[in-house]
Structure formats: C-alpha cells, structure tokens
Structure 1
C-alpha cells in the first residue's frame, strides 16, 4: 500500500500540484454525489496516484473549490501528462459541468478492457483488479455518503484503492492489446474522450415520463409537478426523491388532489410542500384550477423522428438493402474475429447511423479499417456504405 496523503487546504493542494506537475502520468478518480444526499451533482473528493503516493484532495473544506483547485485543473488539462482513469466519462462530464475543465491525454482502463473483445459488458474496477491482478479490494464504501465529514479511514482506503492499481492495470491491458494488434484502437477511443462535453438536458422530465408511460395529455401536469418538486429540492438542497418519489409523481398526475386540503392530506409529500407558498402552487395544479400549457414543439433538428420512418418507396428499399449489407458484414466480423468485436464495430446504433450518415462519417478509423477489410475479404462493396444516404 502506498502512503496516503489527505489534503484539505489550498496551500497543501498547490504544493502537491507542483510535485505532480513533473510526473509523466497520474492515476485519477473522483468521488461525487449525484442527487443522492444533496441537490445536484457535487464533487466530494479527488484521488490522484503518482506511482508512489496517493493524494486525497478534499474540496469540501475549501472556500472556493473552482479557484483553489486550479493547480489540479492545470494538471488535468496538461497534454504532456497522461491521466489514467477507469470508466471516466462520468468524471470528465462532472469536471466540465461544474468547473469547465477538459481533461487531456486520457487512458481509460475500461476502454482498454472493452477493446480486448472478451465481453459485451462494462467491467467494474473491483472486478478488473481481481481478474487481472488477483487482488480483491473492499468495495463496501461505494455507496457511502461522500459529502459527510469527517471521512472514515475505511472511506480513505476505498478512495485510495480506486487509483492505486490503475498504472498496473493500464500496462497489463496495453500489453494484451498490443499482442492482438489493437493498440491503435485504444489510442483512437481514448483520444475521443477528450471531446466529451456536458450538455444540459432542458427537459429532464421527459426521461421519467417515458418510464411511467405518461400520455401526451398528462404531460403538462407531469412537467409542472416535476418542476415544482425540483424547485423545492433545490431550495432545501436535497435530492428530489426526498421531496417525493418518482412513483408518487406519476400517481399524483393520474389521481390529482382536488383542493388545498386534499394536498395537505396527500401521503408521501415533504412537509414544506404543505406550507405556503408551495401549497398554493400545488392547489393551482388541481383539476378545477390547472391551466395546461402544452409542451413546446422542438426545432426540426431536435425532433426524435427516426430517419428510416421518413423514407418510402425506392428510398426505403435502398435503405433496407444498406442495412442488410451491414448485417451481413457484422456476421462476417463475428465469424472472422468474434461477436464482441462485431458489436463494437456495428452495434445497433452504429448500423442505424451508418445507414443515414455513411461509414466514413460515423466510424473511427480502426472501425472503418475492419469494415473495409471484411468487405474486401468477402467480396462485398464497402464503397456503397461509405457516404451519406441520398
């Protein structure tokens, strides 16, 4: 076990950043809370391993984390320093959303493992450590409250383990990929992670509405109740489920209290909702008072209308032929390499995108190479798939 240093002050963080700036690579992980204990997404801890020391950087005691952690952000932005993560997308999205930090020169051990083509599923860090290194790490703190202070020794050890083995894993997986001739695959996939950016979902209620099969005529009430819940959750700095559960949200839409007194008697609602001004806002959602404002029509480019459903006649037939050729190629890749790699090159989503946009635009170079070589080997026409559908 490497030495663990727990840092809580701007001076200590700046000093360590100076040391880390001379290192060729860093193992990095974040602990954050995503609507579990507080409202929103909140950074709770940064873990960094330099090959010798594990540094746990605590943003909670800081007065202005965005500014006081800038020496660390500079390291993450520095393209000369390799950053080794495991399954980093959530981390880099959080860094972009909260701090505008775009990480450069990433190696993701989850990406490496996936490109070995041994499994369709993402692998957890604990399972990867066990399968590759034969070490079993304790994951008991995974769901603990990382915003609560002081951190326990068990939490600190858990956090350290999340970066302690990253170099060894990355090196071992790199060797395996090289033996398979897939180093370039990993280089391209890791480089693409630099372009991952956070995009705000302007209508997050639609995801839940779909899950609960909310009908179009129910959506305005569902939306307004969702937004009212979110407003109170933000004011209380509590996750929305602590105001009332998603199940209760759909129930209230389909069996809406008819008066302020009925809302007061409704089960499962946070007490603050039953006080002014929120009680008045709830009463305005009752059937006799509610004025439905329809959902705005999204711009044409945002409408979720599948490309294939816009086609008919000869164009539909040509799109079908393009799909059939792609599925034939997928079968050949399965037989020539294996089904896992075939799915990496031609997943259902990629097949749909290639039909519309063409392989040259949709696929990474390593994927195009496999597709082109497979087509040539089996006397099929890659050129007919290369360009956008016309």
Structure 2
C-alpha cells in the first residue's frame, strides 16, 4: 500500500479524492480535540482504500476540505468505513450539515459476528490481523504543529489496518447471512438527526426525576439557555453549569439573582454578574412543558412489581443463552429497557419485528406468555416449550433459583 506524505494543500487533496472516488470503499478516521471546546476541533483526517493511504491536515493554511467532504457526503458509490465512528460522523455533520453515506461501522458489525459489545480498535486489529497497535500516541495534542513522523504514522495506521480488516469482515457477514441485520444500525448511525444541535431538545439528555410540567418547562428553558451560552463561548456545556445544578435550579428556582450565591455548584459571583442575569431571564421566560413533549411513557407499560422484575431477569438469562448460542452481541438483539417493556405488556417493540423476532423475540414473547420455560439437560441450560415438556419435575429449574 502506498502511503502519502501529509497533505497540506487543496490541489493534492483533490487529486487524492478523485482517485479514491473510483474505489468500492474507503476507510476513514479523524483526530480531534474537544476537551476545552463546545465544538470539536478537527485536527487530522486519515483516509485509505486497498491501494493507498494519506493523512490530511485541516489546519494547514489555505487548505479547502471541499473535495474530501464531497467524497464523504455526496458520493453514494463509495462506502465509507469507520470504527466507532459516531464522533467522526458528528464532525463531518458540523462542517457540512450532512453525514457520510453510505456508511459502515466495524464496531457495530462485530456485534453481528461475535459477542463483542463495543470492541476497541486495538482489540479489533489484534483479533483480525494479530498486530499490536502502538498506543503511545493516543494522548497526543493533535492541534500542535508540526506533527512528528511517528504521530502521522500512528494516525495513518488506523485506516490502513481497517482497509485490510473490512473485506475480511464483509466476507464473514456474507457467509453467515447477517449483513442485513446491520442495515438499520448503519442507517441510524448516518441519520443527521442524531447530530443536530437542537437547543430546544437539550433538556432530554438531563436526568430529571420530576414529571411536573412547571419543573420540566424550566428545565427545558435552562438547558436551551446553557447550550446557547456554551456555543457562544465555544466551551463545554459543563463549564457553564453541571447537569445536576441545572436540574436543581429547575426544581427549586431562585426568587432573586442574589439567591444564586446559595446554589451548590455555582460561583458566588453569579449573584450579581451578567451570566447570572441571563440565567434569571431564562427562568422568567420559561413556560410549562407542553403535554405533547412529555417524556414517552408508552414503552414503559404497567409497573413491573416483584413478579415483573423476575420475568425481566428470566429474559436477561434467555438473552445471555441465545447470544452465546448464535455468537452475537446481546446488545444487537435487544436492551434492558426493551425487555422491561416486554415484561410490562408492551408489544410494539423492535425486538418483536423482523430478524430480531425470529432470532430472539419469538422465544422472549413465548417466555413472557408462559409458553416456554428453562430446563437443564446434560448439565446445560435449555429452553423448552411448556406444552411439550416431558422432563421429570426434579430436572426443572425453578424461576426463583434461575434469577438469583
């Protein structure tokens, strides 16, 4: 594979992207800094196909990333391959308002062919190529210039290894017939809605025990205000105010700005500075949360209670058995909140649709409805249809013991 020198000008970048546009796939990675900023600062882009690889310096004076971004977002003929690519996609979205498409994520794909839930890049490379990745440059300040040859070599390795792994992974997915399992997951990763910075929805990320519309309305107003402050200053939102402090103010709003000095998590200076004044104005303008915006409770079903919680434990055991049997990550099949909803009586769930229903949901539903049970045969846990069960009673495993 040909490795190019660090690309620092638009003409060289355009030539590279023109060649890569004729590929079936490209592997992509980014290096960025975001510890001290609201918006991640893109510091390096690495890209490769099966024949060549390069690192691109987005901080180089005068460079225009348009050829690269066009390849990422407007060329539907080239598959873009990432590993744990959520943050990489977010950066591209911030630059263009669009996401790479079509897209493939090797971390997600590993869940369909192994029990790996969130395999790290180094472990991925070791398992597929038998190579130990040099981790020495992981904590590099990628914004500093000049970059050393070792740093660039380390960064390009992320995409050259991936370019070797992806075709092998694809062949295994085709062989197992599980490629279609990943379609929805990849489309979800590429959905621009996941990366839009909608300040009006920021409150949904904050844990708020109250369901009072007045409290939630203040929470929504404060969260939107904090997003605006963080974006304007380009600092992490937690530097403005921590989630816990914001939720506390929404629940117990101060009557006057002077009361902000008593709020845990705020500097006493908020009692008379400009940011404190802006916070009070945000509170004063808060409206009760519209009932249509209330957190969805439809998926919760009836309260579980002790028996329902026991059913969830049995579903988790079934999930563990099934994921081991078919060598797939349990997280790809379903999640805890979905099993709780199933136990509570909800029936409109992803696990009861498509391939998930055939692989796991069908048996999970039968277990909830009392049509299946656990049994031990030859020292191994198995599922059996209750109507067909013909085993001695002393071979059965009581549900209470299984769950413990």
TM beyond 0.5: yes
Structure 2: distance between partners of 1:333 and 1:267: 45
The 1:54–1:166 alpha-carbon spacing in structure 2 relative to 1, beyond 3 Å, is same
Specify every segment of 5 or more residues in structure 2 that has no aligned partner in the other structure, as ranges: 367-382, 388-404
The 1:297–1:259 alpha-carbon spacing in structure 2 relative to 1, beyond 3 Å, is closer
Q: Name the counterpart of 1:50.
A: 49
Structure 1: distance between partners of 2:245 and 2:361: 52
Task: Please give the residue correspondences for 1:287-302 in structure 2 after superposition, counting only pairs within 5 Å.
Answer: 291=284, 293-299=286-292
Structure 2: distance between partners of 1:267 and 1:293: 22
Per-residue Cα deviation, 1:161-185 (whole angstroms, up to 9, x for no partner): 221201222234345545xx42x31
Q: Name the counterpart of 1:8.
A: 8
Could you tell me whether the CA contact under 8 Å between 1:8 and 1:58 is conserved in 2? Answer: yes
Structure 2: distance between partners of 1:52 and 1:284: 58
Number of aligned positions between the proteins:
354
Deviates more, 1:151-160 or 1:243-252: 243-252
Q: Secondary structure at the match of 1:59?
A: coil
The 1:139–1:190 alpha-carbon spacing in structure 2 relative to 1, beyond 3 Å, is farther
Per-residue Cα deviation, 1:65-92 (whole angstroms, up to 9, x for no partner): 5xx4245423554343333221234433
**Deviation of 1:17 (Å):** 1.0
Is 1:83 matched with 2:94? no
Per-residue Cα deviation, 1:40-67 (whole angstroms, up to 9, x for no partner): 34443321012343212233346695xx
Q: Name the counterpart of 1:370.
A: 359
Structure 2: distance between partners of 1:355 and 1:279: 45
Could you tell me whether the CA contact under 8 Å between 1:38 and 1:237 is conserved in 2? Answer: yes
2:130 to 128, 131, 134: 134
Task: Please give the residue correspondences for 1:212-291 in structure 2 after superposition, counting only pairs within 5 Å.
Answer: 213=209, 216=212, 219=216, 222-246=219-243, 249=246, 259=257, 263=261, 269=267, 277-282=274-279, 291=284
Structure 2: distance between partners of 1:373 and 1:264: 55
RMSD: 4.7
Per the normalisation by structure 2, the TM-score is 0.67
Q: Name the counterpart of 1:20.
A: 20
Specify every segment of 5 or more residues in structure 1 that has no aligned partner in the other structure, as ranges: 382-390
The 1:252–1:169 alpha-carbon spacing in structure 2 relative to 1, beyond 3 Å, is same
**Deviation of 1:123 (Å):** 0.6
1:198 to 149, 173, 192: 192
Could you tell me whether the CA contact under 8 Å between 1:260 and 1:283 is conserved in 2? Answer: no
Q: Name the counterpart of 1:337.
A: 325
Per-residue Cα deviation, 1:147-206 (whole angstroms, up to 9, x for no partner): 45444545423321221201222234345545xx42x31244157514531223432134
Q: Name the counterpart of 1:386.
A: none
The 1:331–1:142 alpha-carbon spacing in structure 2 relative to 1, beyond 3 Å, is closer
The 1:261–1:150 alpha-carbon spacing in structure 2 relative to 1, beyond 3 Å, is farther
Q: Name the counterpart of 1:185.
A: 178
Q: Secondary structure at the match of 2:290?
A: coil
Structure 1: distance between partners of 2:182 and 2:36: 33
The 1:99–1:348 alpha-carbon spacing in structure 2 relative to 1, beyond 3 Å, is same
**Deviation of 1:97 (Å):** 4.9
